[in-house]
Amino acid sequence: MSEKEVKSLEEIFEARIARDEKIEPKDWMPEKYRKTHIRQISQHAHSEIVGMLPEGNWITRAPSLRRKAALLAKVQDEAGHGLYLYAACETLGVSRDELYEQLHTGKAKYSSIFNYPTVTWADMGAIGWLVDGAAIINQVPLCNTSFGPYARAMVRVCKEESFHQRQGYEIMLTLCKGTPEQKEMAQDALNRWWWPSLMMLGPTDAESVHTEQSMKWKLKRKTNDELRQQFIDQTVPQADILGLTIPDPDLKWNEETGHYDFGEIDWDEFWQVVKGHGPCNKERMKARVDAWENGAWVRDAAMAYAEKQEGKKLKDVG
């Protein structure tokens, strides 16, 4: 294709997106659109898969059968969300194996929040309430994104995510109504998860390199700072109901703007964790790679069995 032809195809393509038309896998698309989508969708999928690890840590120690069943169902949902997203990503012509390879070698990123440890049961409450709460804010606009398979996967994910946040908030509520020690545990979890949750919504707009292009492709409909403000505005009153204090001395309702003002985010910490120096980066990747490698013989055996059955069928026919 000549440069001129590509240029005119690009114009038609951008116009389709501007008209809110969806792009499907076999449609022509600019190489940059394909690459950006592979990067974002796979990052999202990896986050779901790695996100199972901090919570998996507490399944065997959940305080009641009710809590255990709910946590198990939530972690299973996350596996499901990862699978929807990997499948959407594969429609762009990348294989599942390549995607795993990128995760396991550290070439692909996942959400930095999952590199923090889950040290008490209250962390299960704080994760559901804050981390899933922030995730929902991020994900709801993606239900309208331009790439069909991604949008469809997000619709399914969003439908399921609401239970995750509610079960987390219920855990917090129960702890806050419990003994002083239990309430203290809930406060401690909020103290540790608050700032990483704010960071989870991404670097500030000034630092975010992909925002402009992503807005055009509807991969983003609001900027990171807008999403963060929305998260803070809706979460602070929820903390009030719990009777917990947000660990930010500068947090204050601003009558003029109709939003909460908040303190400085420690972006050095964020970049440290992104670059692999968070408290649990190594542990998470080791658990993930071990699970994949130790499962290799099962995958091979299942394949060998399937091939043998197929061979038998062919012989019967012959």
Partner 1 sequence: MTKKNWPLWEVFVRSKNGLEHRHFGSLHAADAEMALENARDVYTRRNEGVSIWVVESKHITASNPEDNGELFEPAQDKVYRHPTFYDLPDEVKHM
Of 101 and 240, nearer to partner 1 (C-beta) is 101
Site membership for partner 1, residue 153 (CB under 8 A): yes
Nearest to residue 202, comparing CAs of 221, 219, 232, 223?
223
Site membership for partner 1, residue 26 (CB under 8 A): yes
Helix (H, G, I), strand (E, B) or coil at 210: coil
Rounded Cα–Cα distance for residues 81 and 159 (Å): 11
- How many other CB atoms are found less than 10 A from the CB of residue 14? 14
Nearest distance from residue 79's CB to partner 1, in Å? 8
Of 128 and 196, nearer to partner 1 (C-beta) is 128
For partner 1, the binding residue among 15, 28, 177, 277 (CB under 8 A) is: 28
Nearest distance from residue 300's CB to partner 1, in Å? 7
Nearest distance from residue 188's CB to partner 1, in Å? 33
**Token code pair at residue 194:** 């608050």
Please count the residues of this chain forming the interface with partner 1, following the rule CB under 8 A. 27
Of 73 and 265, nearer to partner 1 (C-beta) is 73
Site membership for partner 1, residue 30 (CB under 8 A): no
Nearest distance from residue 84's CB to partner 1, in Å? 6
Site membership for partner 1, residue 291 (CB under 8 A): no
Close Cβ partners of 23 (under 8 Å, ≥ 6 residues apart): 13, 16, 17, 29, 33, 146, 147, 148
Only one of the segments 87-95, 140-148, 248-256, 257-265 lies at the binding site for partner 1 (rule: CB under 8 A); that segment is 87-95
Residues 297 to 316: which contact partner 1 by CB under 8 A? 299-300, 302-303, 305-306, 309-310
Query: Any idea what the Cα angle at residue 215 is, between residues 132 and 270, rounded to 5°?
Result: 45
For residue 252, the surrounding DSSP H or E stretch is strand 252-254
Rounded Cα–Cα distance for residues 290 and 300 (Å): 16
Site membership for partner 1, residue 96 (CB under 8 A): yes
For partner 1, the binding residue among 10, 160, 226, 261 (CB under 8 A) is: 160
Site membership for partner 1, residue 152 (CB under 8 A): yes
Close Cβ partners of 281 (under 8 Å, ≥ 6 residues apart): 115, 273
Rounded Cα–Cα distance for residues 115 and 104 (Å): 15
For residue 259, the surrounding DSSP H or E stretch is strand 259-261
String of contacts with partner 1 for each residue 104-143, x by CB under 8 A: ----------------------------------------
**Token code pair at residue 155:** 């619709």
* Amino acid symbol at 31: E
Of 160 and 233, nearer to partner 1 (C-beta) is 160
**Token code pair at residue 161:** 């995510």
Site membership for partner 1, residue 247 (CB under 8 A): no
Rounded Cα–Cα distance for residues 165 and 276 (Å): 27
Nearest distance from residue 52's CB to partner 1, in Å? 14
Nearest distance from residue 311's CB to partner 1, in Å? 12
φ/ψ of 249, rounded to 5, equals -65, -20
Nearest to residue 108, comparing CAs of 285, 303, 305?
285
For partner 1, the binding residue among 33, 58, 84, 262 (CB under 8 A) is: 84
Nearest distance from residue 10's CB to partner 1, in Å? 16
Residues of the shown chain interacting with partner 1 in the complex, contacts defined by CB under 8 A = 24, 26-28, 73, 76-77, 80, 83-84, 87, 90, 95-97, 152-153, 156, 160, 299-300, 302-303, 305-306, 309-310
